[in-house]
Amino acid sequence: MTTLSATSRPVAGMLWMLAAGFSFVVMNALVKSLGPSVDPIQSAFLRYLLGLVFLLPVLPAILKTRLTARHLKLFGLRGVVHAIAVMLWFYAMTNIPLAEVTAMNYLTPIYVTVGAALFLGETLALRRIAAIVVALIGVTIVLRPGFREVSPGHLAMLGASLSLGASYLLAKLLVRDIPPSVVVAHLSIWVTIALIPFAIAVWAPPSMQDLFILFLVASFATAGHYFMTLALQAAPVAVTQPVTFLQLIWATLLGALVFHEGVDFWVVAGGTLILAAVSFISWREAVLNRSAITPPDIGTKF
């Protein structure tokens, strides 16, 4: 059984994950504040285009990394898949409450767990199957089909989580040969390229205020990823992951106080079940001292 190492700093890890969660919730709120003023597809494109400025520090690493034809195909495929996820996520964000987006986003690691078993040959142990069942129960509680309308926004969020799961599986293949920082940088580049034709189809001149908000979205997204990296360096996933539950609480409060969205107990309950399932998988992987395929960072990757 693994234990915290002497170099582990659990309090620091939890605080960094707290900062990451706050950054992602603010990012979500900024996207929602745009409302219908900018088409979701155009918003997604501008968010990634403006975020390219944050790639400057890793530009030397990008240029010196040698890529094969296989790498380029995987990067291109991942860019398209992730672009679909981003467009669906931006659409969902403007059509369903913040808390529901946050709760359903917790599904991504579950998709990755299933995908790793189907496509990467990982063993789907009984504990993982049980966690998946619990997560599906959580989704049912959030959506409550038959008791309320399942809107296109809900379907879009389900699609976004599924597409993100596929993106992470492709990343798993790429990081075998390429440094993670370069994989992340290429994602931003390829997603921007993949979004160009979709953005052209719906293009309307954005206002300076909209551009400023989207730059803030890119800034908070980048900060969230950075804080999350610091959290995972400071402490094990089993320590930091439960902190991500606060994202659901913050999203619920922010939705109620700022966007006048109702507080739905069932959404919080369902999201808690999904997160509990993900946390259990990660905790068991830490106990067994294995490399967890389930992404440790379940904040929205946009």
Residue-wise pLDDT for 129-146, tens only, equals: 888 899 889 999 999 887
- Ordered by start, the domain boundaries in the chain are 17-287
Residues 6 or more apart whose Cβ sits within 8 Å of residue 21: 224, 243, 244, 246, 247, 250, 299
- List beta partners, residue 145: 148
> Residue-wise over 165-202: b if at least 16 C-beta within 10 A, else e?
bbbbbbbbbbeeebeeebbbbbbbebbbebbeebbeee
pLDDT band at 81 (very low <50, low <70, confident <90, very high): very high
- Looking at residue 114, its pLDDT comes to 86
**pLDDT (mean) for 172-178:** 88
* CA 260/CA 262 separation, integer angstroms: 7
pLDDT tens track for 286-301: 666 544 444 444 444 5
Kindly report the pTM of this predicted structure: 0.85
* CA 54/CA 57 separation, integer angstroms: 7
148: three-class secondary structure by DSSP:
strand
- Looking at residue 299, its pLDDT comes to 43
- Looking at residue 151, its pLDDT comes to 92
pLDDT band at 148 (very low <50, low <70, confident <90, very high): confident
- Indicate whether 276 pLDDT > 60: yes
Decide: 113 and 294 in contact? Cβ < 8 Å.
yes
pLDDT band at 37 (very low <50, low <70, confident <90, very high): confident
Write the single-letter amino acid at 81: V
Closest CA to 46 of 227, 220, 216: 216
Decide: 193 and 79 in contact? Cβ < 8 Å.
yes
Least confident of 113-122, 173-182, 237-246: 237-246
pLDDT band at 157 (very low <50, low <70, confident <90, very high): very high
- Looking at residue 80, its pLDDT comes to 97
* CA 35/CA 127 separation, integer angstroms: 41
